[in-house]
Amino acid sequence: MAKLKLAVWKFASCDGCQLTLLDCEDELLEIAGALEIAQFLEATSAIDDGPYDISLVEGSITTAHDAERIRAIREKSKVLITIGACATAGGIQSLRNFADVEAFTSAVYAHPDFISTLKTSTAISDHVTVDFELRGCPVSKHQLLELITATLAGRMPRVPKVSQCTECKLNGTVCVMVAKGTPCLGPVTQAGCGNLCPAHGRGCYGCFGPKENPNPQALSAQLADLGMASRELRDFYRTFNAGAPAFAEESKSHE
Amino acid sequence: MTARTGGSFILDDPAPLVDALRADGWRVIGPREGDGAIVYDEIETAADLPRGFVDEQDGGHYRLRESGNDRWFDYVVGPQNWKKWLFPARQKLWSATRTADGFDIDPEKVEFPKTALFGTRACEIAAIEIQDRVFDNGDFADAGYRHRRENTLIVAVQCARSAPTCFCSSMNTGPRAEAGFDIALTELEDGGFFVECGSDRGAEILDRIDATAADAAAEEAAQAVTEQAAQMQMRSMPENIAGLLKDSLDHPRWAEVADRCLSCANCTLACPTCFCSDVEDVNDLSGDHTERWRVWDSCFSLDFSYIHGGAVRRSTLSRYRQWMTHKLSSWHDQFDTSGCVGCGRCITWCPVGIDITEEAAAFAAEPAEPADAGGLET
């Protein structure tokens, strides 16, 4: 059987998620052996015009040109998978969705008229059909490998949409919110990072975006009881997944 | 000294007991201070025990602080429980390797050295006994669980105080453990320990220690310690809750609690009796090697009720109702006991402090008309 063709694409992003693929050091040769890497500019300058069996898409849509480009990629891809908070929720750059982009460009650039950008930063799934979304800022190497392995085996990847609290409890991490009063987004955030922050005594920053049916309103009420002001609450939800609908909506209610 | 089951003794402090257990080849798991809480981990000497600490607990609130005295066991239950050891969060069940004409299965051997659970509270013994019924009911036995239990020795500590979240008295599971332990310690008001021998295995350990026989006054003092803990309890479970919930499936209270519930699963994962798990298969990139793992799961996850075509319990309302009615009501039908031991962990470790006793009291205060099962929210 011919090897499946893999393409890796970048939109508005920092490249960290596609670099996670190169970070799969021990497994990298095996991945390269199992797939034909047809397009992956971070790894090779060779370009194959497609079509592709699997496209991994990093980054958000922030320009009209990119909105066109993702449609062309979708047309050439059998399976399209988005990786990382930019591609799945608009990324940190979706902070522009809550502000006036023209005010930014005129304050930052000597010639703002040279800047051609959309008023919003949006997820890939707002523009084309996405077959699977892999969350995280950046994505977890473990989940990325599971995604590739499962795709090759023709099964659903095992990427639970449960809370970060689940990771804490499975790892025996003491709840920082209950035991220390530390503000934490864990109860509304999807697991998958490997329990990074709570295991080091920090609250969860929500890098993996909203969990399945999240209840940020109930969490905010408790965070307010712990002493967070309304503006702090607004900003708490406005980081890497600011554009994710559940977080965006909750942050707006604290404006 | 010659100990026997049912005998009782006096000991100045727990150090000789920890030493005797280890000298007899037991791994000792007990309470330790860790990350601002009492956690259960291996201890080497009594010096590892969190002496002089006391906890402060309420809905969604826990603080561990120095008590200002040198008592050994004034804290009560913390975020972890013994299922971490007896029913581990992640267990590999078997692995398989592709061969020329099929595949070979390699079952995972359960390794569990003989282990003393040191500092087990009455509610926790009740919880272990409930999990015993779940995992080893006579007809079916989880071989790994049975192996771990056979290699387990229980050294109980009788509670001298209760947290505001404790309600074991109303569940008839504490605060005094009457049975289910090999050895039990009561830290007496004026120092020293009243030691009860609960089994022949406990007697073998106690035989290694130089302790004096207890008199009737010491036994009376020990009873007074747990009596005092019982009187401190501020929460309780309504007695008729099992039947009440059966008639309350459509009660408006479910929607109110669902508004506050995060469906984060903390209550189930902190609960010492919740036993649900998921089985997951993982394979490597080549597809030549596969492993099957069992991992803690929760009825608060969407995938928990996934059947062909979708999840049965989609709303938080239906999931909270499933958890509470199973725990307090249908558990009786399934296992002839309540699934709740009154330890209060689900109250303390709920990030928003939802209180199962308060919810139960709300159903008791306004009983609903019997449910129309056809109209239940999923």
Distance from CA of B20 to the nearest CA of A (A): 28
Q: Considering the domain boundaries, does residue A79 fall inside one?
A: yes
* Residue in A with minimal Cα distance to B270: A169
- Token pair 């039990």: residue: B184
In whole angstroms, what is the distance from residue A38 CA to residue A30 CA? 16
Q: Do the beta carbons of residue B241 and residue B325 sit within 8 Å?
A: no
Candidate from A172, A188, A219 with C-beta closest to B80: A172
Task: Specify the pLDDT at position A43.
Answer: 87
Please tell me whether residues A141 and A170 are part of one structural domain. Answer: no
pLDDT in tens, B210-249: 889 999 999 999 999 999 999 999 999 999 999 999 999 9
Nearest in space to B198 (alpha carbons), one of B3, B1, B2: B3
B152-158 and B212-213 beta bridge pairing? unpaired
Task: Specify the pLDDT at position B3.
Answer: 73
Q: What is the CATH number of the domain that holds A65?
A: 3.40.50.700
Please tell me whether residues A127 and A9 are part of one structural domain. Answer: yes
Please list, residue by residue across A177-195, b when 16 or more beta carbons sit within 10 angstroms of its beta carbon and e when fewer do.
bbbbbbbbbbbbbbbbbeb
Residues of A in contact with B34 (CB under 8 A): 174
Mutation target for B interface from A3, A4, A178, A202: give the one with most B CBs within 10 A. A178
Q: What is the pTM of this model?
A: 0.96
Q: Say if the Cβ atoms of A222 and B36 lie within 8 Å.
A: no
* Residue in B with minimal Cα distance to A186: B264
pLDDT in tens, B366-375: 987 655 555 6
Task: Specify the pLDDT at position B373.
Answer: 53
In the sheet that holds A77-83, the strands lie side by side as A35-39, A4-10, A52-58, A77-83, A132-134
Residues of B in contact with A211 (CB under 8 A): 264
Q: Say if the Cβ atoms of B352 and A221 lie within 8 Å.
A: yes
Residues of B in contact with A200 (CB under 8 A): none
Task: Specify the pLDDT at position B355.
Answer: 98
Q: How many helices, marked H, and strands, marked E, lie in chain B?
A: 14, 16
Q: Considering the domain boundaries, does residue A241 fall inside one?
A: yes
Please tell me whether residues A23 and A141 are part of one structural domain. Answer: yes
Residues of B in contact with A34 (CB under 8 A): 285-286
- Please give the interface size between A and B, counted as residue pairs whose CB atoms are below 8 Å apart: 131
Q: Read out DSSP for A4-39?
A: EEEEEEE-BS-SHHHHHHHT-HHHHHHHHHHEEEEE
- Token pair 């009782």: residue: B8
In whole angstroms, what is the distance from residue A2 CA to residue A127 CA? 31
Q: Say if the Cβ atoms of A187 and B351 lie within 8 Å.
A: yes
In whole angstroms, what is the distance from residue A237 CA to residue A187 CA? 13
On whether any CB of chain A is under 8 Å from the CB of B238, the answer is no
Q: Do the beta carbons of residue A126 and residue A180 sit within 8 Å?
A: no
Tally the domains of chain A: 2
* Residue in B with minimal Cα distance to A215: B262
* Residue in A with minimal Cα distance to B266: A165
A139 torsion bin: left (phi>0), alpha (psi -120 to 50), beta (else):
beta
Please tell me whether residues A109 and A75 are part of one structural domain. Answer: yes
Mutation target for A interface from B262, B293, B299, B319: give the one with most A CBs within 10 A. B262
Q: Considering the domain boundaries, does residue A39 fall inside one?
A: yes
Mutation target for B interface from A159, A166, A182: give the one with most B CBs within 10 A. A166
Domain boundaries defined on chain B:
8-88+113-231, 241-286+296-375
On whether any CB of chain A is under 8 Å from the CB of B90, the answer is yes
Distance from CA of A235 to the nearest CA of B (A): 20
* Residue B217: Cβ within 10 Å count: 8
Max Cα-Cα span within chain B: 74
Please tell me whether residues A133 and A13 are part of one structural domain. Answer: yes
DSSP-assigned letter for residue B362 = H
Contacts of A155 (CB under 8 A, 6+ apart): none
Residue A204 host element (H or E)? none
In whole angstroms, what is the distance from residue B109 CA to residue B91 CA? 11
Candidate from A152, A166, A222 with C-beta closest to B265: A166
Please tell me whether residues A44 and A24 are part of one structural domain. Answer: yes
Q: Considering the domain boundaries, does residue A208 fall inside one?
A: yes
Task: Specify the pLDDT at position A46.
Answer: 85
Q: Do the beta carbons of residue B166 and residue B237 sit within 8 Å?
A: no
Instruction: Name beta bridge partners: B157.
Output: B185
Please tell me whether residues A93 and A201 are part of one structural domain. Answer: no
For chain B, the straight-line distance linking the first and the last C-alpha, in angstroms and rounded, comes to 62
In whole angstroms, what is the distance from residue A219 CA to residue B351 CA? 8
Residue ranges of chain B with per-residue pLDDT less than 70: 1, 369-376
Nearest in space to B340 (alpha carbons), one of B356, B358, B327: B327
* Residue in B with minimal Cα distance to A216: B262
Cis peptide before A51 (omega within 30 of 0): yes
For chain A, the straight-line distance linking the first and the last C-alpha, in angstroms and rounded, comes to 56
Task: Specify the pLDDT at position B224.
Answer: 98
Tokens standing for B272? 């010492």
Nearest in space to B320 (alpha carbons), one of B375, B256, B374, B247: B256
On whether any CB of chain A is under 8 Å from the CB of B105, the answer is no
Please tell me whether residues A137 and A203 are part of one structural domain. Answer: no
Half-sphere exposure of B226 (CA within 13 A, CB side): 23
* Residue in B with minimal Cα distance to A152: B285
Residue B85 host element (H or E)? helix B83-86
CA A100-A106-A112 angle, to 5 degrees, is 115
Which CB contacts under 8 angstroms, 24+ apart, belong to A41-46? A41/A8, A41/A10, A42/A8, A42/A10, A42/A15, A42/A18, A43/A8
Q: Which domain holds residue A213?
A: 164-252
Q: Considering the domain boundaries, does residue A30 fall inside one?
A: yes
Please tell me whether residues A107 and A178 are part of one structural domain. Answer: no
Residue ranges of chain A with per-residue pLDDT less than 70: 1
In whole angstroms, what is the distance from residue B269 CA to residue A165 CA? 9
In a 3-state reduction of DSSP, which class is residue B55? Answer: strand
Task: Specify the pLDDT at position B374.
Answer: 56
